[in-house]
Amino acid sequence: MARSRRRQITVLVVMSIASCVAMTTACVSSGGSSSGSGTSLTGTDWRLTELNGAPALPGLGDRAPRIRLTADSARLTGNTGCNTMGGGFESSGDRLRFSKVFTTRMACADTAPSRQESDFVKMIDSVDRYRIDGAGLTLYAGDRAVAHFKAAQPK
């Protein structure tokens, strides 16, 4: 009985969050460079697929490297693969800048995820523009693509 009730509550919470995201996405225009797919810079959970030309490591447990930008608060949230991250952002047209980026300070268990985390944070600091193509997001530093993301599928 308690398990069934917990499942019902979980379904209601997920549906509520999905509704809020849908309303936010519908009401907020990213204003960026997009292929017209309807995928928005803001309100989308972007999963890292490539960093500086190399395939992204999956992260530890459920901590996949990802970012999410929230339009109404101009906030960046996400995960580096080891640690939680946050900060601010500004976007105008295809321009994108992150500010006051911070991470928690938990140690990565292995050197490869630790190196990726360091590179991920450096990349975030270097970004100056973006492009959305279908369900993909590419971040640029000057003319160089520094990271590729895919919009996460709703669970």
C-beta separation of 89 from 69 below 8 A: yes
Give the per-residue pLDDT at 119.
96
Question: DSSP per residue over 80-149, as a string?
Answer: -SSSEEEEEEEEETTEEEEEEEEE--PPPSSHHHHHHHHHHHHHHHH--EEEEETTEEEEEETTEEEEEE
pLDDT at 62: 76
Domains defined along the chain, listed by start:
30-151 (2.40.128.270)
Q: Which residue bears the tokens 């490591």? A: 57
Q: How far is CA 116 from CA 122, 124, 155, in A?
A: 10, 12, 26
Residue 35's pLDDT is 47
Mean pLDDT by 10-residue block, N- to C-terminus, for the chain (155 residues)? Answer: 51 39 35 59 96 90 90 96 95 97 89 92 97 97 98 77
